[in-house]
Amino acid sequence: MGPGFSEYFQAFRNRRIGVTALLGFSSGLPLALTSGTLQAWMSTAGVDIRTIGIFALVGIPYTMKFLWSPLMDRFVPPWLGRRRGWIILMQVVLMFSIAAMGFASPERAPWALAALALFVAFSSASQDIVIDAYRTDILHETERGIGAALFVFGYRIAMLISGALALILSDRIGWHSTYLIMAGCMLTGVIASLWGPEPEKKIAPPGNLREAVWGPLIDFFSRPSAGMALLLIVLYKLADAYAGTMTTPFLIRGAGFSATDVGAVNKGFGLAALIIGAMFGGALMIRLGLYRSLMFFGILQAVSNLSFMLLAWSGKNYGVMIFAVGFENLTGGMGTAAFISLLMALCNSRFSATQYALLSSLAALGRIFIAPTSGYLAGSVGWATFFFITALTALPGLGLLWLLKKEVTGYTGGQA
């Protein structure tokens, strides 16, 4: 007998879930301020295009954050506990460093601005390390899907604010004031950190730095089928990522839609569908459990790629476009909720900062290595065949998930 409606609503109403949503907002806000929004600021300021391109390097801390994550597992700040202490420290640092960016000048001192942006990215990546660990430590097994969904919701809303809204504000009040307002928005995360609960079980941190570095690896690889679990992490979202790299070029160059069409449907409607999918998938996970959710949502993700094959056959058809974009984002959101839940379930609470950072970095490997081939493949075989092949790339991950059914069903996370 599955859970009743009261259990679904109760899962949405508890304090742990509310904090997770607010911390998702705090996590998503700084990203655009050091990437797309910053590039727009430099473009309007007349900065050389080559300099703007070099600024993309400030995003490196997000991909390398596992290198210093053991420090955040090992050391406990003297305030607010092991996780919240680090989170609020990073949030205060982010507030001041984002505000400092607002006082910088891309025209007169671009490299000073670059140094500030790099520091913001480092602080943001550090915040992400501990927020991921905190979410893993406090959420109950049945709450992970909903928690992941609301984290995604908060994250995406923050990206809209620091992206689209910041660009609109810059035209009206200037870039300096815009960055000061964005710095003030970090207060949302500070409030969430102060409001957030401590984990229900007392968790002992690693006894020394050596254990903090090697303990996560020893713990993980001591489990049955650890290597296959790592391969599953690489493969599970591969089809979704592979198709996603070519979605916008296909809609504009392949199907013939305008940039306005793509902005409204793919970016606007698609974002709404992604959030709804994550929320619906998170709620559905209460009934289905982790394994069945991963399998069901994974199959839907693969099928959604075929909707773009249908659009390639149909040509410039707005109805099919809306269906394809909506279906792809809806199922992508569902799959994301289940996948984040899997990552949390694989983490031991003693080492959750390091293990989650490593696992999430590993998850990006497939996208990083396969994405560059997407353009060559689409150009060689045509759009319809390309999307059919991307759907097929889901099969290895789903097959591996089926082989690991017993292990995935047994994942509970939070091991002491």
CATH number of the domain encompassing residue 414: 1.20.1250.20
- Please check whether residues 274 and 200 belong to one and the same domain: no
- Please check whether residues 309 and 192 belong to one and the same domain: no
- Please check whether residues 375 and 410 belong to one and the same domain: yes
Phi first, then psi, for residue 415 (nearest 5°) are -60, 140
Predicted confidence (pLDDT) per residue in 211-257, tens digit = 999 999 998 898 888 889 999 998 888 888 778 777 878 887 788 88
Where on the phi/psi map is residue 81: left (φ > 0), alpha (ψ -120 to 50), or beta? Answer: left
Nearest CA to 126 out of 90, 73, 76, 163 is that of 90
pLDDT band at 1 (very low <50, low <70, confident <90, very high): very low
Q: Which of 173, 205, 237 is the last residue of a domain?
A: 205
Tokens of 146: 């909903």
Predicted confidence (pLDDT) per residue in 92-128, tens digit = 999 999 999 999 888 888 888 889 999 999 999 999 9
- Please check whether residues 178 and 263 belong to one and the same domain: no
- Please check whether residues 28 and 123 belong to one and the same domain: yes
Q: Which domain holds residue 302?
A: 206-416
Beta carbons of 216 and 351 less than 8 angstroms apart:
yes
Q: Which of 174, 205, 236 is the last residue of a domain?
A: 205
Predicted confidence (pLDDT) per residue in 293-343, tens digit = 999 999 999 999 999 999 989 888 889 989 998 999 999 999 999 999 999
Polymer length in residues for the chain: 416
- Please check whether residues 177 and 220 belong to one and the same domain: no
**Structural domains counted in the chain:** 2
- Please check whether residues 169 and 219 belong to one and the same domain: no
- Please check whether residues 35 and 101 belong to one and the same domain: yes
pLDDT band at 186 (very low <50, low <70, confident <90, very high): very high
Q: What is the pLDDT of residue 414?
A: 47
- Please check whether residues 173 and 244 belong to one and the same domain: no
Q: What is the pTM of this model?
A: 0.83
Beta carbons of 89 and 77 less than 8 angstroms apart:
yes
Q: Which of 158, 189, 205 is the last residue of a domain?
A: 205
- Please check whether residues 25 and 83 belong to one and the same domain: yes
- Please check whether residues 273 and 283 belong to one and the same domain: yes
- Please check whether residues 231 and 201 belong to one and the same domain: no
Predicted confidence (pLDDT) per residue in 368-396, tens digit = 677 677 778 888 888 899 899 989 989 99
Nearest CA to 158 out of 134, 189, 135 is that of 189
Task: Enumerate the H helices of 253-394 as residue ranges.
Answer: 259-262, 270-314, 318-345, 352-381, 383-392
Q: Is residue 416 pLDDT above 50, yes or no?
A: no
